[in-house]
Amino acid sequence: MAIAQRLDGKWAAGCVQADLKRRVEELTALGVVPKLVMLVVEEDEVSLGHVRRKARFARAAGIAAEIRTFSAGGGPEALRSAIDHLNGDDAVDAVLVQLPLPPGWDEVEIVGRIRPDKDVDGLHPENLGQAAFGRPRIWPCTARGVGELLRRYDLPVRGKAACVVGRSALVGWPIAQWFMAHGATVVQCHRQTPSVAHWTRQADIVVSAAGVPGLIRADDIRPGAVVVDVGLTYAADGPRGDVDPSVAERAAWLTPVPGGVGPMTIAMVAQNTVDLCAMRRGG
């Protein structure tokens, strides 16, 4: 029985990093050093770990990456003030607020406070609106990471049927928009969809971003499909994705969890930082 080939996000992210390093060297020669500042509520160790990985990747590519931490007990005002300061700092090209934020903090308002041309996650309402018209300033990092992973493996999207499971503003919706903008026919499923499997079985490409471990099983996939698992849930036995391991017996290509989309999301934070820097300062 054939086993799906691995869509290795670590390998693809390494390729992105090497390309970015060369581009940053060219910018540096012009006197321009891309700078990324990431803001995180320090009590959330998972979020802090994600931000540290993003900083390590960016620094390895030559980007100036800074982490600033905030206390949940102090409320969101200090975070808002920091965003306002960074918006006016011409040396800063990209700003990221690590999500999720503590309960009761208005994530939409806080993310929307970032200047759109410094919004490295691409989640400012203006940037999402541009994405809806297929003319984004930058694509949100996970959506762009999925697309870049497929590109690195020469897996075409144009003319394909894609099913995206999940519709969050952070992940599912931007991924669906990315596929439509790149010529795929897209069906987007969510918790109100009566039969998700009905749609996934018809798709050439299935992307699951529901955060439900084991949601997608072998019988839900057509033979030879490309399956991208964006879901990540931390269970007692370790991280788990939305896609059951049995899918490897039917799919042609499959991302691992971890090591699939996660490294690509991190890589796209660095990629978007450099792109935003070039847009603002030339190069």
Query: Which residues carry out catalysis?
Result: 54, 98, 121
- DSSP string computed for 184-243: -EEEEE-TT-S-HHHHHTT-SEEEE-S--TT-B-GGGS-TT-EEEE---EEETTEEE-SB
Dist CA 187 CA 171 (whole Å): 15
DSSP H/E element including 65: strand 64-70
Check if the beta carbon of residue 58 is closer than 8 Å to that of residue 274: no
Pairing, β 253-254 against β 226-229: parallel
Could you tell me the CA-to-CA distances from 141 to 17, 241, 252 in Å, in that order? 15, 18, 25
> Cβ neighbours of residue 282 under 8 Å, at least 6 residues apart?
30, 32
Tell me the residue type at 93.
D
| Gyration radius of the chain over CA positions | 19
